Every structure is written in structure tokens, then in C-alpha cells.
């Protein structure tokens, strides 16, 4: 086997007393098309880590200057006094790594305070190629130095979360014009958000959550046209949600402003942001008024939380147009009125949200029956409609069979449902009885009408029969024959009439269909020079046989 095909070169040692050789891993083989060779590289790395805990890599492609600077920084660190190395501060010598591009110091026990430890921030101004800096989740305290704004303008990611940093956000933060991600959440930062934050035109994600900020939502945020995610929950922001601000954040996909003392109504402009799809969280503020009708325009929103406010009036049916909604929380408000009941409305309001997983309507003033179509939402795994004024029968399928994820308590007028709910049985519906009575009455009336019509026809025929018999002095048999002849072979009788003329004489008549060829009497007994029947036709007619 040639040296090129080997990934681990073991150096021969003259004596067994010497330490084990350092495995040499050729990372260049990972770019080969031969899968067997690539698998051997991976196995060699695993073996070296498992058996020795160290190895040397060659053909890795890392610039030599970067390696030299890393060695220098390590050497400088090890030359420091033990007291310095043990104090948990980031060494100032970090700034000597002039080609440093990424520095990850998160999840350690590094520290700084008002008097010492922040010097490394100043030294990082020498790292002109720095792109990412993350020292989140450490023990940094004290004020964030204004020199943070002197870090290279090439920096794109800055994470300071979950530290004890206090004081205000330095206005120099606006110098970092290439920032795409800024995380200041989970700190003790206070004061107002500086207007200079509006200079970060490339910012895509801003985290201000769990802080001690104060004042209004800064209008300068409107300049962050590329902002996609804003996390400012539990940040002590106050005032109203500025509609003009939201109109400018046309790329926003996630907005969290919960647990702030925000007041006023929900601006409709929030629901006019088509990209808003991850979540909208405005819960536990002091927002009031109705849910804007524009809510249906967020067709792609996944989660919407408006709970814990003072929202009132009826639940908007257009909320059902948010067809991608998975979680909706509207509990602890002042919503009132009925839940949509008709098939059309329920499809618009709830039924078409086939991806809905969680629905919370608890602690409102909602009334009316529970929509039965809720039981058809197979994705619905949690439903809480407790502490309302709902009435009527509880459905028995779908989510209504999952007692662990269903809460309908404190609705005194609910009934029925599965036995495990221990609700009172529903009374028999008088409307159903009335419907049955109406159906029976309709059938009876129809039958009576048919019988009366039949009786009228029979009476009419008998009347005609008697009149003809009296006028022509026919026998019963002859009269029957005449009637059969007229009805079968001559023409249809339309109706009959009987009146008394001005001389007091009775006049009776039968009304036949119009005869385009004239009267049969004229053909049988001609009184003028009209065409007559031949000697063969008369007997046929008289014997009731039609030509």
C-alpha cells in the first residue's frame, strides 16, 4: 500500500518505552470519489479519538497564517501568570489574531465586571476580518463598553444573550452596519432602545427579550427593512404598537411582543404582512377592542397568540382564512357572542384549518353551542373552551374523546357528550318533535287533498252522466256506451258549465278541445255542401272504431 492511499501513518519507534505515535489523518482523501477511501478516513478519526484522544491532520486547506496566529495566541495564553489564566477573563491578546473571522466563547464561565475583563472587546478592533462573535451564556456583568461599536464593520453575527450585562445599549452599536443578527436577550440591559439601531439596515434578526428596557417601541425600527424576526417579549416596552412601523417591516416572518404593558388596539397593519408566517405573539398585554377583520389575510401564519388581553366583541369569522394555523390562543379576553355554527361559517372560521393542533378559547364570554364540525378536525390535539357560557350538546367524536387534552369546564349549560365527561343528558329537542308533527301533518294534508280531488272528479262525472241521461232519455247501458265512446274515440272533455239565461231557462254545456276539422255531428248529419263521410266511414264511427 502506497503512502498516498494511507490515511494513518504510524512512525516506527526504536523502543517500546516511547509514547504511542501520533496518528496522521489525511483530510484530503475526503474529497476523493472513492467511497472506500473516504470511509477509511472516518474510521481512522474515530479510532484515534477513541484510543488516544489526539491526532494530526494534513491536507486540511487551512491558511498557514491562521495556524501561525493560533499558535501565537495559544503560546501567549500559556505564558500568562497562573492567576490571570484562572480568573476567567478573556485574554486581551485575542486581538492579535488579526485574521480571526469567527470567535465562539458561548456556554463557559467567562466573566467580566465594571472594573476588569472587558478589555478584550477593545482588542478585537484589530481583527479586521471578524464576522461572528458569540460570548453568550457566560458570567459577564457590568456595562457593555462603547468600544463594542469599534469592532470590525464586517461583523455579521453578535450574540451577547444570557449574561448579567447591565446598563443601556451603547449608541455606537449603530456602527456595525453589516450585522445580520443581534442578540441582547436574557440580560439586565435597561433604558430606551437607541435610535442608532435604525442604522443596522442589514439586520435580519433582533433579540431584545427578557430585558429591562423602557419607553416606546422605537420608530427607528422602521428603517430595518430586511428584519425578519423581532423578539421583544417581556422587555417592558410600553405605549401602542405603531402602525407606521409595521407597515415598513415588509419582510417580517415572526413577531413576539408578549408580556409588555402595551395598550390600545391591534393595528390592522399587522395582518397586512403576507410574509408573517412563523408566529404572531401579542399575548398578555393590555390591548383592547375587536380583532381586526384583516386577520384573515395572514393565510400562512402557523401560530397566533392573542391571549391575556382585553379584546372584545364577537370572534371574527375571517380568522378561519388562516388555513396554515396550527396553534391559536384567544383565552383570557372579553370575547363574546356565538361560535360560528353554520356549515359555511364553520368552514370559514374553523373547519378549513385542517392543520390546527391547539385551540384555546377559555375565559371569555362566548355563548351558543359547540360547533359539531370541530370533531372532524383530525389534527386537533388540544381544545380548551372552559369558563364561557356555551350551551347545548357536546360532540362525541375526535378531540371530544380525548379527556386529557379537552377542557370544557365551567360551561353550566352543556350536556351530553361521552359518559366520562359526567354531564347531564340533553333534554329531548322539542324542535325535533315539532318537525315530526309538521311532517305528519304535511302527509295528512296531501292525502286529504288527493282524496278530495278524486271525489270532486267522481262527482263531476256523475253530474255529467245524469244530465246526459235526462236530456237524451238514454238507458243506463246506452249512457255508459256514449260516455265510453266520447272519452275513448272522439275528443277530450275540458269542462262543463250550467247557467240560467235572461228568460229563466237553464243552459248546460260540455266544453271540448278545439276541433280543427269541425264538429263530428256536421260530418254525420251534413246541412250544407260540405264534404261528407262515405258509406264505409259512418258505420265505423258508429261502432266506436276510429279511422
Residue-wise DSSP of 123-179 = HGGG-TT--EEE--SSEEEEEPPGGGGGS-TT--EEE--SSEEEEPPPGGGGG-TT-
Which residue ranges form the domains of the chain, and what is each CATH number? 23-60 (no CATH), 312-426 (3.80.10.10)
521 C-beta neighbours (distance < 10 Å), count? 9
Place of cell 282524496: 451
Q: Are strands 358-360 and 263-265 parallel, antiparallel or unpaired?
A: unpaired
Question: How confident is the model at residue 88, as a pLDDT?
Answer: 80
Q: How far is CA 117 from CA 14, 81, 123, 186, 303, in A?
A: 49, 16, 12, 20, 42
CA distance 286 to 405: 28
The CA distance from 150 to 121, in Å, is: 9
Could you tell me if 105 and 77 are in contact, meaning their C-beta atoms sit under 8 angstroms apart?
no
Residue length of the chain: 547
CA of residue 452 relative to chain centroid, distance: 61
State how far the Cα of 335 lies from the Cα of 314, in Å rounded to an integer.
Answer: 6
- The helices-and-strands tally (H runs, E runs) of the chain is 10, 29
The pLDDT assigned to 547 comes to 41
The structure's pTM equals 0.62
Structural element, H or E, at residue 245 = helix 243-248
What is the predicted pLDDT for the residue at 488?
Answer: 43
- Predicted confidence at residue 148, as pLDDT, reads 94
User: Rounded to whole angstroms, how far apart are CA atoms 460 and 483?
Assistant: 13
- For position 11, what pLDDT does the model report? 35
What's the confidence (pLDDT) of residue 13?
Answer: 37
Specify the residue for cell string 484562572. Answer: 86
Nearest to 190 by CA among 170, 220, 161, 176: 170
Cell triple for 18: 516511547
- How far CA 329 is from CA of 27, 32, 280, in Å, comes to 52, 53, 11
Q: Residue 441 corresponds to which cell in the numbers above?
A: 301533518
Query: E strand or H helix at 476, and its extent?
Result: helix 476-485
Question: Measured between alpha carbons, how far is 378 from 362 in angstroms, rounded to an integer?
Answer: 21
Residues of the chain with pLDDT under 50: 1-16, 341-352, 473-476, 479, 483-489, 544-547
Give the span between the Cα atoms of 137 and 205, in whole angstroms: 18
Amino acid at each position: 500500500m502506497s503512502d498516498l492511499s494511507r490515511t494513518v501513518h504510524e512512525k516506527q519507534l526504536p523502543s517500546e518505552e516511547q509514547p504511542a505515535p501520533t496518528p496522521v489523518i489525511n483530510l484530503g482523501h475526503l474529497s476523493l470519489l472513492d467511497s472506500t477511501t473516504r470511509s477509511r478516513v472516518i474510521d481512522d478519526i474515530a479510532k484515534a479519538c477513541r484510543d488516544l484522544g489526539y491526532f494530526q491532520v494534513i491536507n486540511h486547506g487551512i491558511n498557514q497564517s491562521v495556524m501561525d496566529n493560533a499558535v501565537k495566541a495559544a503560546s501567549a495564553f500559556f505564558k500568562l501568570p497562573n492567576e490571570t489564566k484562572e480568573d476567567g477573563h478573556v485574554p486581551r491578546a485575542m486581538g492579535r489574531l488579526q485574521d480571526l473571522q469567527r470567535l465562539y466563547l458561548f456556554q463557559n464561565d467567562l466573566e467580566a465586571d465594571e472594573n476588569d475583563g472587558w478589555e478584550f472587546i477593545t482588542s478585537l478592533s484589530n481583527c479586521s476580518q471578524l464576522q461572528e462573535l458569540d460570548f453568550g451564556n457566560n458570567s459577564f456583568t457590568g456595562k457593555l463598553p462603547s468600544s463594542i461599536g469599534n469592532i470590525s464593520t464586517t461583523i455579521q453575527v453578535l450574540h451577547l444573550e444570557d449574561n448579567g450585562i447591565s446598563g443601556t445599549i451603547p449608541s455606537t452599536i449603530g456602527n456595525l452596519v453589516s450585522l445580520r443578527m443581534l442578540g441582547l436577550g436574557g440580560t439586565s440591559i435597561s433604558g430606551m432602545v437607541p435610535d442608532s439601531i435604525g442604522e443596522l439596515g442589514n439586520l435580519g434578526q433582533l433579540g431584545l427579550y427578557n430585558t429591562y428596557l423602557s419607553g416606546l417601541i422605537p420608530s427607528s425600527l422602521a428603517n430595518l427593512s430586511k428584519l425578519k424576526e423581532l423578539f421583544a417579549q417581556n422587555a417592558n416596552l410600553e405605549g401602542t404598537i405603531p402602525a407606521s412601523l409595521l407597515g415598513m417591516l415588509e419582510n417580517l416572518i415572526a413577531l413576539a411582543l408578549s408580556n409588555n404593558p402595551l395598550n390600545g388596539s391591534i393595528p390592522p397593519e399587522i395582518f397586512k404582512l403576507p410574509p408573517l408566517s412563523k408566529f404572531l405573539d401579542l399575548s398578555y398585554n393590555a390591548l383592547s377592542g375587536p380583532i381586526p377583520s384583516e386577520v384573515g389575510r395572514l393565510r400562512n401564519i402557523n401560530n397566533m397568540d392573542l391571549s391575556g388581553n382585553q379584546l372584545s366583541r364577537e370572534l371574527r369569522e375571517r380568522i378561519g382564512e388562516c388555513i396554515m394555523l396550527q396553534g391559536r390562543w384567544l383565552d383570557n379576553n372579553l370575547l363574546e357572542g356565538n361560535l360560528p355554527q353554520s356549515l359555511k361559517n364553520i368552514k370559514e372560521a374553523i373547519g378549513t384549518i385542517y392543520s390546527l393542533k391547539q385551540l384555546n378559547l377559555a375565559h371569555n364570554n362566548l355563548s351558543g353551542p359547540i360547533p359539531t364540525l370541530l370533531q372532524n378536525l383530525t389534527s386537533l390535539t388540544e381544545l380548551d373552551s372552559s369558563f364561557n357560557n356555551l350551551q347545548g350538546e357536546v360532540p362525541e367524536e375526535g378531540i371530544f374523546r380525548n379527556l386529557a387534552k379537552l377542557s370544557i369546564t365551567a360551561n353550566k349549560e352543556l350536556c351530553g357528550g361521552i359518559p366520562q365527561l359526567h354531564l347531564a343528558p340533553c333534554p329531548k329537542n322539542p324542535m325535533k318533535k315539532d318537525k315530526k308533527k309538521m311532517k305528519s301533518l304535511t302527509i295528512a294534508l296531501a292525502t286529504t287533498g288527493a282524496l278530495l280531488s278524486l271525489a270532486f272528479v267522481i262527482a263531476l262525472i256523475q253530474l255529467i252522466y245524469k244530465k246526459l241521461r235526462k236530456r237524451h232519455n238514454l238507458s243506463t247501458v246506452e249512457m255508459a256506451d256514449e260516455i265510453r265512446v266520447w272519452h275513448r274515440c272522439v275528443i277530450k272533455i275540458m269542462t262543463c258549465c250550467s247557467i240560467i239565461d235572461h228568460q229563466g231557462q237553464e243552459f248546460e254545456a260540455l266544453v271540448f278541445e278545439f276541433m280543427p276539422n269541425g264538429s263530428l255531428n256536421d260530418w254525420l248529419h251534413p246541412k250544407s255542401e260540405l264534404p261528407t263521410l262515405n258509406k264505409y266511414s259512418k258505420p265505423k264511427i258508429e261502432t266506436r272504431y276510429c279511422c
